[in-house]
Amino acid sequence: MIQKTIRQILNKIISEDPGLKVVAEAERPSQVEALIVKHKPDVITLDIQMPEMDGVALLKIIHPKYHIPTVMISAISKEEGPQVLQALEAGAIDYIQKPQLNDLDEVSKVIRERINIAAGAKIRRRTASPRRSAIKTKNFEKQSLIVLGASTGGTEAIREILQSLPSAIPPILIVQHIPPVFSTAFANRLNDLCLFKVHEAKDGEEVLENNVYIAPGGTQMGVRAEANKLVIQITDEAPVNRHKPSVDYLFQSVAQAKLSRLTAVILTGMGGDGSKTMKVLRDQGAHTIAQNEETCVIFGMPKEAIKLGGAEFVLGLDEIAQKMLDLSLERPVRKIG
């Protein structure tokens, strides 16, 4: 349900893919349910800004009833960041930038790709409330570091994992494929929900326990060893695997640092970002975890990591938080390198 001009542009973009067909358009939210019942669409595109009610409110009505993969249409603005995150929390699969006539060539391919991905996505029923981990992490090894990467479906997977963790945790560095204007809102949302500090990473800050660092959108995040401490590096280097931030970029950085207490995690997402370097990390002696197919929205990234032999453990989403903590407990040092 999108304003008329945008609907016309989006219709044109979608129709250029022979595998996609627009079966119905709605001018108002009040028309949507009848069209769903009549046409039984495989995917719905839904604007954030609409008459009668906003897209998030409509999604909260239709998603629990019909469970149809939904892609939000957003201006990708700072103002809409919190609403997009609310939509993902309410069950949306993904979001795309609202197309404009002056950038059709650039966005058309991305829009068609995202809609096709959504059509094959797995709808996960959200748990009523996150389960808090029973493990006490006061004895986790002080040199422990957790690095985690995700893409499509990742904002909610990350939320579920972090909300399951206790207040005392090893430092966690996270790369979620996300635009620059959304990463701050994502970090702030997680910080409101978690028992520890979650914030957007800053260049030059020290990596500390009980902190989660979110890679700023549109940048690359890595680490460097400096005077017996680990420091975050935020750079403007080129995309890796078409992504900026990139999971492989972060994983390569920690591989070069040759840390003795490292756990790497790959969650739901399309493509293979992070999979090659996860194998490198495992070969170095790091622990590695891939999310299993049953709980992924999109199994692409974990599937590639598993195929390459990079996953030491393949676990459901509700098992990953506990395993990360288990692997961070004090034990004899494992040599890496």
Per-residue pLDDT of the chain (337 residues; tens, 9 = 90+): 456 788 888 999 999 999 999 999 998 999 999 999 999 999 999 999 888 999 999 999 999 999 999 999 998 888 899 999 999 999 999 999 888 777 787 789 999 999 999 999 998 765 544 555 455 555 788 889 999 999 999 999 999 999 999 999 999 999 999 999 899 999 999 999 999 999 999 999 999 999 999 999 999 999 999 988 999 999 999 999 999 999 999 999 999 998 889 999 999 999 999 999 999 999 999 999 999 999 999 999 999 999 999 999 999 999 999 999 999 986 654 545 5
Give yes or no for a contact between 162 and 174, defined as CB atoms under 8 angstroms apart: no
Strands 220-226 and 229-235, bridge-based pairing: antiparallel
The rounded distance, in Å, linking the Cα atoms of 225 and 232 is: 9
Q: Which residue, among 109, 106, 98, 72, has the nearest Cα to 8 in the 3D structure?
A: 98
Whichever domain contains 105, its CATH number is 3.40.50.2300
With residue 213 as reference, give the H or E element that holds it.
strand 211-214
Is 273 tagged catalytic? yes
What is the phi/psi pair of residue 118, to 5°?
Answer: -60, -35
Give yes or no for a contact between 71 and 92, defined as CB atoms under 8 angstroms apart: yes
Q: What pTM was estimated for this model as a whole? A: 0.91
Angle between helices 4-15 and 104-119 (to 10 degrees): 70
Residue at 128 is within a domain: no
Number of domains in the chain: 2
115, 168: one domain = no
101, 220: one domain = no
153, 69: one domain = no
Of 81, 101, 119, the one marking the end of a domain is 119
> Of 183, 273, 275, 328, which is the active-site residue?
273
Whichever domain contains 302, its CATH number is 3.40.50.180
Residue at 331 is within a domain: no
209, 322: one domain = yes
163, 81: one domain = no
182, 261: one domain = yes
Of 119, 153, 171, the one marking the end of a domain is 119
Is 177 tagged catalytic? yes
Residue at 311 is within a domain: yes
SS3 240: strand
Domain that holds residue 81: 4-119
Residue at 124 is within a domain: no
254, 161: one domain = yes
The rounded distance, in Å, linking the Cα atoms of 337 and 334 is: 10
Residue at 332 is within a domain: no
> Of 63, 177, 243, 287, which is the active-site residue?
177
> Of 74, 133, 144, 151, which is the active-site residue?
151
Of 119, 154, 188, the one marking the end of a domain is 119
174, 309: one domain = yes
314, 205: one domain = yes
